[in-house]
Amino acid sequence: MIWPWIAGAAVVLLIIFVSSSIQLRFTIMRMEQDDEIILDVHTMYGLVKRKLAIPVIKFLNMEEGVKLKTEVVDKMNEQLKQDGKENITSKKVREAFENMQILLANCFQFHHWLRSTMSHLRCTRLHWKTNVGVGDAAETAMTAGMVWGLKSSLLGFLFRYIQLETRPVIQVVPQYNKVMLASEIQFLAKIRVFYVLLAMLRLLSRILKVKGGFRTWRRVLFKAS
């Protein structure tokens, strides 16, 4: 019979899937007035590759907010799967914040779940370079020192929750007698699919501990989509 072979193959594929890792490459680039955000996702040992790119980030005004252009690319065949344009207004940000508060209120100790999940995320590369100049040499040196301090504080906070498996490369390059701000961040991280699935089950159990929690999460998430 062929069914035992099909079942066996399904089990093998499931084991491969669960034991594989999700690799994330997060890149942010800012050069003068140009910004770009790229998220690369690889899993199933490279069989699944996706790239989310935001090549256009433009501030319009206080009422219209920020204009974003997004592209989702299948990196296996370099095919554009989805693209779109959206304006992020202050109203949308306020609604998203209110929805987040509702979700957090309907999940038992969400911050404990988040901290436990983040502890399984491993950083394998971090490169953060910033060129900064404000036009005056003395003020540029002072600004560069402030940028160093800000980076150190942010990374110190981040690595309280994420495992660091590499030595970060952090650079602040003063541009004396020049006004500019250019920065690039490359962040590579891995997490096993097993821990992602386990985190989803634990999140569901925490939501179910709150009366009406599951119904509230479903209502908010479907309304947001």
Burial tier of 109 (Cβ tally within 10 Å: 0-12, 13-18, 19+): exposed
Residue 223 pLDDT class (50, 70, 90 cuts): confident
Beta partners for residue 193, in sequence order: none
- The 3-state DSSP class for residue 77 equals coil
pTM over 0.85: no
Percent of the residues in the chain that have a pLDDT greater than 90, as a whole number: 26
Q: Are 188 and 127 in contact (CB under 8 A)?
A: no
pLDDT of 53 over the 90 cut: no
What is the C-alpha to C-alpha distance for residues 48 and 165, in angstroms, rounded to an integer? 24
- pLDDT greater at residue 200 or residue 222: 200
Beta partners for residue 179, in sequence order: 134
Q: In this structure, which amino acid lies at residue 71?
A: E
What tokens were used for 73? 């690319």
Query: Domain residue spans in the chain?
Result: 103-120+194-225
Contacts of 8-14 with CB under 8 Å at 24 or more apart are: none
Q: Are 43 and 193 in contact (CB under 8 A)?
A: yes
Contacts of 188 (CB under 8 A, 6+ apart): 23, 24, 25, 26, 123, 124, 125, 126
Q: State pLDDT tens for residues 157-214.
A: 888 889 888 888 999 989 887 888 888 889 999 999 899 999 999 999 999 999 999 9
